[in-house]
């Protein structure tokens, strides 16, 4: 229900080419307590007044020189969009065709001149009630939408935090640094940009790729942390980590988690079909996994580990080019060569020498976990 004081504050616009009619209506409205009334005798000015004044109700004469009431309504319909603007027609014309045409043009009610004051005031009150209820519901829906968007954003931030923390946990357990997943995810995003994927797809790759090795959480320490060469049996166990990762990430309705699941399952596939666990070949391998394969190997080759020294950039690039068409998609390798300068910038920005400060800064920027 709309309060009387709110209805009396509503913005009313009178459009009539006769100043005398406007004066009568203004006096009548003022006597009834309406405080916000504007007017014009020129229908051509209505669109501009509508934009600046934002009326809640228009009292409109149909027969005016220069711009008829029908032309006024036609112009307003182009401006309204999904807004509900009640128009009350005041006219001496009483024929059925005129009334029907006015209603079809956007009028909500029709009063003949000369009018009875009590009747027109009652119609104005009723029309403003509907208008203000519409505004009330629209504002309420907007508030709800904003709250839903805010909540969705918080949930998305929480999901992102979980993904990055789990990705880092998998790397730490594998004697990797926490910055490996950060670097390779940015390498992957840059490659995706280079081959022309959309901004949304590139962002998905950036945020899903840290989960590529999450399945290593399920590999026993005696195998995962073994300093020497794995036996054939141990290697077969190690090769189960893609399936373990996919199972860990499966069942989500989130597009991000679905991509992470696909990456976890297929990031060890090779272009020539010699990879695992599915033995996919060529374009059977999802594009995102073909991208990540190059990004992951480049960072692995150029990073020092307890069991190896870091390769030089030149040697690493030579190795990736050598494996083009064997381990890697040739088109992705071509994109890699173009983006190599960006890879070097990313690698320097997220080097192990800066690990403590970088991870601390990232932690400070992470949102708190939602508990409800």
pLDDT digits (tens, 9 = 90+) for 91-131: 888 888 888 999 888 899 989 888 889 999 999 999 999 99
Q: What is the pLDDT of residue 115?
A: 83
Q: Assign domain 174-365 to a CATH class.
A: mainly alpha
pLDDT digits (tens, 9 = 90+) for 195-249: 999 999 999 999 899 889 889 889 998 998 887 889 999 999 999 999 999 998 8
Cβ neighbours of residue 16 under 8 Å, at least 6 residues apart?
A: 22, 25, 39, 41, 59, 60, 61, 64, 90
Query: The tokens of 137 are what?
Result: 């519901």
Strands (E), the chain: 12-15, 37-40, 57-61, 87-91, 109-112
Q: What is the pLDDT of residue 371?
A: 34
In DSSP terms, 111 is beta-bridged to 90
Q: Measure Cα distances from 283 to 131, 195, 295, 327 in Å.
A: 58, 15, 18, 12
Fold of 4-144: Rossmann fold (3.40.50)
Predicted TM-score (pTM) above 0.75: no
Among the residue ranges 96-100, 141-145, 333-337, 365-369, the one predicted with the least confidence is 365-369
Q: What is the pLDDT of residue 254?
A: 84
Q: Return the SS3 of 88.
A: strand
Contact (Cβ atoms closer than 8 angstroms) between residue 38 and residue 12? yes
Residue 289 has phi, psi (to 5 degrees) of -75, -30
Q: How many CA atoms lie within 13 A of 331 on its CB side?
A: 10
Domain ranges, ordered by start, for the chain? 4-144, 174-365
Q: What is the pLDDT of residue 45?
A: 94
Is the pLDDT at 261 greater than 60? The verdict is: yes
């Amino acid at each position: 229900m709309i309060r009387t004081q709110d209805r009396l504050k509503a913005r009313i616009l009178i459009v009539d080419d006769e100043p005398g009619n406007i004066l009568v209506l203004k006096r009548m409205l003022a006597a009834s307590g309406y405080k916000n009334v504007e007017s014009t005798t020129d229908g051509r000015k209505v669109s501009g007044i509508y934009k600046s004044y934002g009326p809640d109700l228009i009292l409109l004469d149909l027969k005016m020189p220069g711009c008829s009431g029908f032309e006024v309504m036609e112009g307003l319909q182009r401006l309204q969009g999904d807004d509900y603007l009640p128009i009350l027609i005041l006219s001496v014309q009483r024929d059925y065709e005129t009334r029907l045409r006015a209603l079809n043009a956007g009028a909500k009610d029709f009063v003949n001149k000369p009018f009875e004051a009590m009747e027109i005031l009652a119609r104005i009150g009723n029309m403003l009630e509907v208008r203000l209820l519409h505004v009330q519901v629209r504002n309420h829906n907007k508030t709800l939408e904003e709250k839903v968007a805010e909540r969705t954003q918080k949930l998305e931030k929480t999901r992102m935090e979980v993904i990055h923390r789990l990705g880092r946990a998998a790397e730490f357990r594998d004697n990797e640094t926490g910055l490996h997943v950060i670097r390779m995810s940015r390498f992957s995003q840059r490659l995706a940009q280079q081959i022309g994927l959309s901004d949304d797809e590139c962002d998905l790759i950036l945020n899903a790729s840290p989960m590529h090795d999450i399945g290593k959480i399920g590999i026993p320490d005696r195998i995962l942390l073994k300093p020497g060469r794995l036996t054939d049996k141990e290697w077969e166990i190690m090769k189960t980590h893609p399936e373990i990762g996919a199972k860990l990430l499966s069942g989500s309705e989130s597009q991000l988690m679905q991509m992470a699941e696909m990456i976890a399952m297929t990031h060890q596939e090779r272009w020539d079909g010699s990879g695992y666990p599915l033995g996919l070949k060529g374009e059977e391998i999802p594009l995102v996994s073909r991208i990540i394969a190059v990004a992951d190997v480049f960072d692995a080759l150029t990073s020092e580990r307890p069991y190896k020294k870091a390769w030089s950039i030149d040697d690493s690039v030579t190795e990736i080019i050598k494996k083009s068409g064997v381990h890697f998609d040739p088109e992705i390798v071509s994109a890699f060569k173009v983006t190599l300068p960006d890879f070097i910038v990313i690698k320097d920005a997220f080097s192990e020498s800066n690990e403590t400060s970088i991870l601390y800064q990232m932690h400070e920027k992470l949102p708190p976990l939602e508990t409800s």
